[in-house]
Structure 1
Amino acid sequence: MDKEHILIVEDETSMAKQLKWGLADVYDVSVAGDARQAMEIIDARPPLAVLLDLGLPPDPDGATEGLRLLEKIMGVPRPLKVIVITGNTHRDVAVKAISKGAYDYHQKPVNIEELKIVLKRACYLSRLEQHVTELEEAVTGKTTIEGMIATSKPMLELIERARRVARTSYPVLIQGQSGTGKERLARAIHQLGDRSEKPLVIVDCGAIPENLLESELFGHEKGSFTGAHARQIGKLERAQHGTVVLDEIGELPLTLQVKLLRFLQEGTIERIGGKEPIRVDARVIAVTNVDLTRAVKEGLFREDLYYRLNVVPLYVPALKERTDDIPVLAKHFLDTYSQEIGPRIKGFSSAAMDAITAYDWPGNIREMQNRIRRGVVMAEGDWIEPRDIDLEVTGGEVKSLKEIRDEAEAAAISLALARNNYNITRAAIDLDISRPTLHDLIKKHNITIQK
C-alpha cells in the first residue's frame, strides 16, 4: 500500500532532514525550502498534510511569509491540513495561524512520536473530507470540476466527458482557442483520476528551444553531448505513475514526434546517450490551439501520432460559444479581484453588464480576467462602468426600453439562479419576488435550469 504524502516546509536544512528522517518510515515525505517551492509541490502533487515552519525567507526570523503561505494553502480547493511548527516563545503566532485555518501547531523541540499522532489524525481527516466531497458530488449530480465554472450546455457536456475520461489512463487531446482554459481542464482531469496523488508535470513545447526540447522531455546521460556534465532526468520520466501535460503539442518538431509516438506505443523512453530503454508509466494529456487535422494534411504533424493522441478528444469552447457563462464568470472574477483591494466595488453597472454580454471576447477567459482586474483598479465609484474595462459603447443600434428591460431582467434572473445553485426558492428570495413569478419569468425568457 502506498504511503500517504505529506509536505515539510522548512528553510533550515538540518531541521528539514531531521523531520524527514523521523517521518519517512510512515509517510511519503516531500520537502520545500520556501513558499514558491511549497506551492509548486502542492499544485503538482497535493499532500494530505503540510508541516509548516512560519519562519521562511525573506523573513526567517518573523512569521509574515509563513502566514502568507498559510493563506495561499488554505485557498487550495483540495482538502489538506496544515500543522504549524513554532518555537516556545511564539505561541501567539501559532494561535493566529489557527485562526487563519491551520489544523494544529507543534512546538519546538519537535517530539517525533507526538507529531506522528497529530499527523495521523490530520491525514485521516483530509481523506475523510475528500470522501465526503466525492459522495456529495455523486448524490447531487454536481457537474462542475475544480477551477472551472460552467452553466452553459457546451461546458456542462465537456465537464461530463472530462469526468468520464478521468477514470481511465487513455491519452487525451484537448483543443481550443488561446485563453479558453485548456490547461486548467488538463489539471482537473489529473486531479479527478487515480493518479491525482502522483506527479503532474507540465511541459510547454512552444516555449523550449528546439535544441533543448529532446533533453527536457527524455533526459540525457552524462557526457552525451557538449555541456552534459551530469545525468538529467527528463519530464516524461519525472511524471512516473502520474500525468504529463504536453502544452502546445502542435509545436513539437517532427523528429521528436517519432520518439513520443514510440513512448505511447511501447511505454518506454531512451535518454540521449542512453543504451537501455526505460519503462515509464505516465498518462499523456496533449493540449493545443492548433488545428491538428490541418497540420496533418500540411505534413507538419504525424498522422499516426495524431490518432494515437486523439483517443478521447475534448474541445473547450470559446467564450462566445458559451454566452450563458459570461455573466456568471464576470461576477466570479469581480468577486475574486475585489477581495484584493477591499469591498469597495459593489458590482457592474447595467451599462457595463450590457457591454460585457455583447462583446465577442476574442481573448476568451484570459481577456475577461485582465479587463475585470483592470476595472477593479480603475473604477472611480462603487460600480464598474464600461470605460473601466475598455468596453465603452461608441454607437450602434439603439434598443427600445422594452428590449433593454427584458435583457436586464433575463441577466438578473440568470445571475440569481447561478448564485443560488439553481435553487428556485433561494433565487426568488434573492430577487424579492414569489416562486410562481420566478417560474413565469424563467419560462418567458427561455432560461435553462441546470439539474
Structure 2
Amino acid sequence: MRKLLIIDDERAICSSLGFALGKDYAVSTAVNLLEVNHHIENDFFDLILLDLKFGEVSGIDLLEQIGSRAPESIVVMMTAHGTIQTSIEAMKKGAYDYIMKPLEISQLRALLGKALEYKLLKEKIDYLQNEVQRRYSIGGIIGNSKKMRDVFELIQKVKDVDVNIILQGPSGTGKELVAKAIHYEGNRSLARFEAVNCGAIPENLMESELFGYEKGAFTSAGSKKKGKFELAHKGTIFLDEITELALPLQVKLLRAIQQREITPLGSEEVRAVDVRIIAATNKDLKKEVEKGHFREDLYFRLNVISIELPGLEQRKEDIPLLTRHFIDKCNKRIGKSIKGITREALLALEAYDYPGNVRELENILERAAALTDHSFIELDDLPGDISRLVPGKNLLETHNIIPVKLGHSLDDITRLVILKTLEAMEGNRRKTAEVLGISERNLRYKLKEYGEC
C-alpha cells in the first residue's frame, strides 16, 4: 500500500482525513514540526498532503524543506479561500497541485489518485533512464585488458567535452557501443542519440535522412520530416561508416558542422542545430584522404579526438569475461540455464583469430548455446574450425590430464606418462617419442622394461 503523510496543525482534520483515506493509503499524520521532522527522517512517503497555513509556519517554507529532504515525495497543498495566488506560488516551488478547503473527499481522492499516477510515471521514467545508463554505460562494455582500460579512460575524459570524435577500428569491435557510452555517460544524455549508417542508405536519400525535408520536396514527400541532425539537437549524432559518404554530401556535412545549422530539402528556412558528432570507420581515414575519397577539411573537422578500438585478437585476455557475459545474455534471450564453458572449449576460443571480432565471438557462443544439450558449452558445441585449435588436440585428446597422487615413485609416474602418451598416440612410437622428448631407442627400452613390447 502506498504511503500518505497528512500535515495539518488541526488534529481533528488529520483524524478525519486519516479515517476517510485509510482504505486507500497507509496514512501517517503530523500536527507540529517535531512530528513532521520525525516522519520525514524515519519514513518514506509517496504522497504528502500539506496545509498551506501550518500554525505559525509558512507552508511554502515547509514545502521547500520537504523538497530538499524528501524529493521523491509528491506534495499536494491544502488551502483556504482567498489564498489561491499563494497556492500557485507553491506549485512553482514544486507542489503537484492544490485543493481548496473545506475539502470535498471525492474530489480529494481523485486529486490524490492523479498525483499517484504522476508518481508512478515518474518512477517508470527514472527506471528507464537508469536502465539506459546500465545498458550503455562504460560498465556495459566488457573488458579488463590494458587496451580496453585505455579506451575507458578516454571515454571518461571526452564524455562531457563538446568536441567531435572519430572512432577507428575493425568491424565488430563495438564502435556504436562506445559512441552510446560517450553519449549516455555525458552531459548530453537527456537529449537524443541518433545513429546513421552511411553505407546502408542510398546516396539520393542520404541528404533527406540527415537534414530532413518539407512536404512536396520530392514526389513521395507527402508530409514533412525532421532529419537526424534536427532530431539530435542538444544530443549526439553517430555517423557510422563515414568513409562511405559521397563527396557531394561531405561538402554539405562540412557546412552543417561549420555553421551549426541545416536547411531541410524543399525549405528556405535555416535551422540552428547543436549536436556533437561521433563518426566511425573501419578504414584508415588518413589514407582515404590521400586517395581523394574523403575531404581533408572534413577530416580535420571530425578528427578533433580519435579513439582506436582494438580487435579481439589484440585483447584475448578479455575472452573469458566476454564469454561469461554472452552466455548470460544467451540464457536470458533463449531461456536456457547454461552454467558456463569447459576449459577445453575456452582454450579453443582463445586460440581463434576472430576476423569478425567481438561480434563474431557473440555469434559463436549464441550458436553453441542454442545447440548444446549440456549444462556447460563443450568443445564439440563449437564450429569445427575452432574446435580443432585446442593445443594438443589430435595429439592427446582426452588423455591430456594424467592423475598423479602423492606417494607415487618417480619410476611409477614415468611409466604412467609413457604408457598414457603411447595410448593417446594410438600406438605410434615415433609420435610418442616426439611428444615425450626422448629417442625412439630409449622409448623401446622403456616399453621392453614395462613388458609392453
Q: Structure 1 length normalisation: TM-score?
A: 0.58
Amino acid corresponding to residue 227 of structure 1 in structure 2: S
CA distance in 1, matches of 2:266, 2:338: 59
1:249 to 242, 249, 252: 242
Q: Deviation per CA, 1:211-239: give whole Å up to 9, x if none.
A: 11111111122333333333222111111
CA displacement 1:354-382 (0-9 Å, x = unmatched): 10111111111111111101111222333
Indicate yes or no: 2:296 matched with 1:297: no
Structure-2 residue corresponding to 1:150: 143
Which residue, out of 380, 388, 393, partners 1:393?
Answer: 388
d(CA) in 2 for partners of 1:169, 1:386: 48
CA distance in 1, matches of 2:223, 2:176: 32
> Where do 1:128-207 residues align within 5 Å?
145-207=138-200
- Counterpart Cα distance in 2 of 1:126 and 1:217: 29
* Residues 1:353 and 1:262: Cα distance change in structure 2 (over 3 Å): same
| Equivalence map 1:6-405=2 (5 Å) | 111=110, 113-117=112-116, 119-120=118-119, 123=122, 145-342=138-335, 344-390=337-383, 391-393=386-388
Change (3 A) 1:377 1:224: closer
The whole-number CA distance in structure 2 between the counterparts of 1:221 and 1:124 is 38
Tell me if the contact between 2:351 and 2:389 (Cα under 8 Å) persists in the aligned partners.
Answer: no
User: How far is the alpha carbon of 1:128 from its aligned partner?
Assistant: 11
Residues 1:115 and 1:247: Cα distance change in structure 2 (over 3 Å): farther
User: Which amino acid counterpart does residue 237 of structure 2 have in structure 1?
Assistant: V
Matched residue, 1:18: none
- Secondary structure at the aligned position of 1:177 is classed as coil
Identify if the C-alpha distance between structure 1 residues 161 and 237 changes in structure 2 by more than 3 Å, giving closer, same or farther: same
**How far apart in 2 are the matches of 1:124 and 1:345?**
34
Higher deviation after alignment, 120-129 or 184-193: 120-129
**How far apart in 2 are the matches of 1:296 and 1:124?**
49
* CA separation of 1:396 and 1:199: change in aligned 2, threshold 3 A: closer
Residue 337 (structure 1) shift: 1.2
Counterparts of 1:181 and 1:164, CA distance in 2: 19
CA distance in 2, matches of 1:227, 1:221: 11
How far apart are residue 292 of structure 1 and its match? 1.1
Task: Give the percent of matched residue pairs that are identical in Structure 1 and Structure 2.
Answer: 42
What secondary structure, in the 3-state scheme, does the structure 2 residue paired with 1:273 have? coil
| C-alpha distance in 2 between matches for 1:237 and 1:345 | 45
Tell me the CA shift for residue 342 of structure 1: 4.9
Give the distance between the partners of 2:128 and 2:335, measured in 1 at CA.
Answer: 30
Aligned residue for 1:307, secondary structure, equals: helix
Deviations 1:152-207 (A, max 9, x none): 01001101101111111111111111111100111111101111111111111111
Q: TM-score, normalised by structure 2?
A: 0.58
CA distance in 2, matches of 1:125, 1:212: 37
**What is the alpha-carbon distance in structure 1 between the residues aligned to residue 268 and residue 124 of structure 2?**
46
- Which runs of 5 or more residues in structure 1 are unaligned? 1-80, 82-109, 138-143, 406-451
User: Which consecutive unaligned segments of at least 5 residues does structure 2 have?
Assistant: 1-71, 73-108, 402-453
Distance (Å, rounded) in 1 between the aligned partners of 2:307 and 2:111: 47
Instruction: Tell me which residue corresponds to 2:33.
Output: none
Q: CA deviation at 1:127?
A: 6.3
Alpha-carbon distance in 2 for matches of 1:114, 1:151: 49
- Aligned position for 2:104: none
> Is the alpha carbon distance of 1:264 and 1:338 closer, same or farther for their aligned partners in structure 2, counting shifts above 3 Å?
same
Deviations 1:12-46 (A, max 9, x none): xxxxxxxxxxxxxxxxxxxxxxxxxxxxxxxxxxx
